[in-house]
Structure 1
Amino acid sequence: MNRLVLISGLMLFSLFFGAGNLIFPPMLGHLAGEKMWVAMTGFTVTGILLPFITVIVVAYYDEGVERIGKPVHPLFGLIFAILIYMSIGAFYGIPRAANVAYEIGTGNLLPVHNSITLIIFSIIFFIVVYIAALNPTKIVNNIGKLLTPLLLIGIALLSIYAIFRPEAPLQASEGKYSGTPFISGVLEGYFTMDLIAALAFSIVIVNGFKYAGITDKSKIIFSVIKAGILSSGLLAIVYFSLAYIGGTTSRNGYQDGTDILTYNSLRIFGNFGDLLFSSIVVLACLTTCTGLVNACAEFAFRQYNRISYKIYVTIFTAVGFFFTTLGLETILSLALPLLTFLYPLSIVLVLVSLINIFIGFELKYAYILPVIVTLSISIMEIIYTNGLLNSDSISAVYLAIPLSRDGLGWLLPFVILTLIGLFIDHRGKRDALETKKQTK
């Protein structure tokens, strides 16, 4: 059991740790400087804690993503699940990770970058993904035993040398990190959107324990929690190490974390640094894509099992390959409105589901009311951000909501409507008990 928990924890870490997670912390540390520790504490709240909670919630209900939205309405739950797997799966998450692997992982290694080299790289990349995801009973071993240790070794080599050979001391913080480092770190972790990824592939972890012969629900939940703690601990160590690398890198006008890590790889290891950093990025993206293909295929097979799991893996791998060839810019432009719509809704449903675990009665309005207000605010945000409908009145209403300029306009209404919903549900339960007593 402990061995399986260890492997599952390593796998969970590698599924969370995509290319975006690799490049966010260095830039945060670079800009936060002396306030890096405070900012990174905020980052862990949304970048580690929320995804960890999501894994536990999915394991507890053991019905996949569709259960999260089912209390609102069964059809809503199914549509929500389909949108989650579309966005984080073959239509966005998989091709995004593959494109990042290509653009960053081969940036300084290939003499030419064009559509032909992208296609050749993608063919090789997705063949590996396909083979790794093909057998769901071995996916935990494939990732947890093989890919994750390689990924950790690469990150450790870079981090240890950079920590012991820093280029400069932590410098004064810049911009938003000067005044509100904790809140700015929270928002930075929020924009990793790892919670949506956790909704998609948490079932992979749960199924890993089932394939190992564990059938008792409480044992599965407890094992998932232990694997999640291991994964979260590793993420925290890696995130803080990468942030420290960024914080101790001299100010030279870096555009993002990729530039910072590439520079430090070259500074510490010379030309070998390019190969090291490229390997880290490709492995990070490879593990993420493998987990997402597996999760999408598992979901599709649960909904319609007349098609084999192998065919679903083939379909999602092929669709991911196709969208990868469109290029990163096209993928991001197509998917951004969908993610803006889905991410706040996902957080709301996960948090209400967590509350429902500890409440002694079934919730209804505590789901419905927050979902309605969150959907409304998300639609207004999309209209405002993308300049749709030319509606000044909608934009004015949206901007009047607290925290809307930070992309968190849903937060305060969610808290208020959840409390109202809990009150209504509690009163409904009390009235039902009184009616039952009277009928006796």
Structure 2
Amino acid sequence: MKQKDILFIGFTLFALFFGAGNLIYPVSLGIESGTSYFPAIIGFILTGVGIPIITVVAISLVRGGAIQLAGRVHPLFGIIFISVVYLTIGPLFAIPRATSVAFESGLAPWLGESSSLGLFLFTAIFLGLVFFISLNPSKLVDRIGQLLTPALFVSIIGLVIGAFFLLDGEIQPPGEKYSSQPFFTGFVEGYLTMDAIAALAFGIITVTTFRERGITDSKMLTLRTFQAGSVAAIGLTSVYVAIGWIGAKMATEGAYDNGSAILAGAANIMYGNIGTLLFGLIVALACFTTCVGLVVACAQFFSNRFQGLTYKGVALTVTLISMVIANLGLSQIVAYSVPVLVFVYPITIVLIILTFTGGIIHHSPYVYRGAILFTSVISLYDGLVAAGFPLKAVTPYIQALPFSEINLSWLLPALVGALIGAIIHWIVTTTTSKVVTNK
């Protein structure tokens, strides 16, 4: 395999990860963290880049992909959980969200208040092109890695260069959120990209691409996946640092509701209406490449897993459902999807940690089940609270857990569950060993 193939696969992985949220969250971090920007962005990168890339590498370690990874808890759990993951990052949330963000950032500013028809026409054309590109997944690297990603890079570079020369705002003191623990606050903010969940799907795309190019040896496959992941990590880190810095320099330019408004304002200050168009192009390309990757991932997963489903049929169904939900509007999409994401994300992180510690725990199903069970209880609570169910009787106990103030209340229960699972594993193996010896 040529080095340029690894480079292009890395570019593709970068483009698949880099959706609208990956633009919005770093710039919000920048404007809120101010003079504490650098420790905050380092924390953000560890979770916003590190965990997703590690997840991709973890997928290369298991021949059965995400299903086998989650199936170590129980085969039925593997199928159900990964199906939920694909539906979440596919037609029920990520694709509609990306499509809506592309519309609101690129076209809505020019249409005024009444844009329902514009949203419908945009989603039809946008997702129609996504479906067309997704029909031939073997060409994914050629179309995204060699064509769309360079265009995305050039657009981002234009915005970043302008920020260094045309934005002269002074860096402000950090806001209350980042005043005491900017590193750990940024660390938790990195979860908002939700890329660790998407990595379960994008990892399979990456591994499949390498296998199609003749990489069959397991160690070599993991190495090549790590190399491509490193390319994506460098790209994501560079962009996060740069656009986060734009946010830090925009603190004196006015008040903004979200990261999209900050970037749009920066683009307009630097380049006027051309800047608005440039920002719209960046968001459209970022959302488009992510949507293509997610449609391909969903179509491959469900057509391979369930008999009677064809790749083209699933891709079309995912596209149509995404179009319907995208027309609900961005606010409603986020409102109904956040509880699901809050529930799924900690479980995903624990699964990845268990995969890399498998040599220590011998991939014991008891350890997996204990850790996942205890994590699921806490994340279910968090999901129900996010959905609007206060659960006041339970709240004091959850808030008493370590790290609950930074939304990591599941961490200690996961460790306790794993420890209980390890004890059960030791008891079972010891008892079995004695029975065999006595015979």
TM-score (norm 1): 0.94
Q: Is the 8 A contact 1:159 1:241 kept in 2?
A: yes
Mapped partners of 2:385, 2:138: distance in 1: 46
In structure 2, the partner of 1:416 is 416
- The yes-or-no answer on 1:396 pairing with 2:393 is no
Deviation at 1:428, TM superposition (A): 4.8
Following superposition of structure 1 onto structure 2, how do residues 31-430 of structure 1 map, counting pairs within 5 Å?
A: 31-111=32-112, 113-251=114-252, 252-356=254-358, 358-359=359-360, 361-388=362-389, 391-425=391-425, 428-429=428-429
**What SS is found at the alignment partner of 2:92?**
coil
Moved more, 403-412 or 6-15: 403-412
**What SS is found at the alignment partner of 1:362?**
coil
Letter in 1 for 2:348: S
Runs of 4+ residues deviating >6 angstroms:
none
Q: Is the 8 A contact 1:133 1:293 kept in 2?
A: yes
Mapped partners of 1:49, 1:436: distance in 2: 44
Deviation at 1:430, TM superposition (A): 5.9
Give the paired residue count: 437
Deviation at 1:416, TM superposition (A): 3.1
Mapped partners of 1:36, 1:108: distance in 2: 30
Mapped partners of 2:362, 2:385: distance in 1: 38
Mapped partners of 1:287, 1:101: distance in 2: 11
Q: Is the 8 A contact 1:381 1:398 kept in 2?
A: no
Letter in 1 for 2:413: P
Give % identity: 37
Q: Is the 8 A contact 1:109 1:274 kept in 2?
A: no
Unaligned runs of 5+ in 2: none
Q: Is the 8 A contact 2:90 2:298 kept in 1?
A: yes
Deviation at 1:423, TM superposition (A): 5.0
Mapped partners of 1:406, 1:250: distance in 2: 25
Q: Is the 8 A contact 1:384 1:394 kept in 2?
A: no
Letter in 1 for 2:100: N
Mapped partners of 2:97, 2:426: distance in 1: 44
Letter in 1 for 2:61: Y
Deviation at 1:391, TM superposition (A): 4.1
**What SS is found at the alignment partner of 2:137?**
coil
Mapped partners of 1:124, 1:162: distance in 2: 32
Following superposition of structure 1 onto structure 2, how do residues 4-43 of structure 1 map, counting pairs within 5 Å?
A: 4-43=5-44
Deviation at 1:49, TM superposition (A): 0.7
Letter in 1 for 2:55: T
Moved more, 307-316 or 75-84: 307-316
**Structure 1 vs Structure 2 CA RMSD:** 1.9
Letter in 2 for 1:355: T
Mapped partners of 1:93, 1:337: distance in 2: 14
Mapped partners of 2:226, 2:149: distance in 1: 19
Deviation at 1:224, TM superposition (A): 0.7
Deviation at 1:434, TM superposition (A): 6.3
Q: Is the 8 A contact 1:383 1:395 kept in 2?
A: no
Counterparts in 2 of 1:434 and 1:240: CA distance versus 1, 3 Å? farther
Q: Is the 8 A contact 1:170 1:247 kept in 2?
A: yes
Mapped partners of 2:55, 2:186: distance in 1: 20
Mapped partners of 1:405, 1:125: distance in 2: 40
Mapped partners of 1:107, 1:140: distance in 2: 31
Mapped partners of 2:257, 2:328: distance in 1: 24
Deviation at 1:367, TM superposition (A): 0.6
Moved more, 298-307 or 347-356: 298-307
Q: Is the 8 A contact 2:339 2:384 kept in 1?
A: no
Counterparts in 2 of 1:264 and 1:397: CA distance versus 1, 3 Å? same
Deviation at 1:245, TM superposition (A): 0.9
Mapped partners of 2:114, 2:41: distance in 1: 35
Residue deviations 1:72-129 (CA, integer Å, cap 9, x gap): 1110110001100111111111111101111112132334642211110011101110
Moved more, 259-268 or 41-50: 259-268
Mapped partners of 1:228, 1:383: distance in 2: 34
Residue deviations 1:146-204 (CA, integer Å, cap 9, x gap): 11111111011111221233322322111121111001101110222111111122111
Mapped partners of 1:160, 1:423: distance in 2: 56
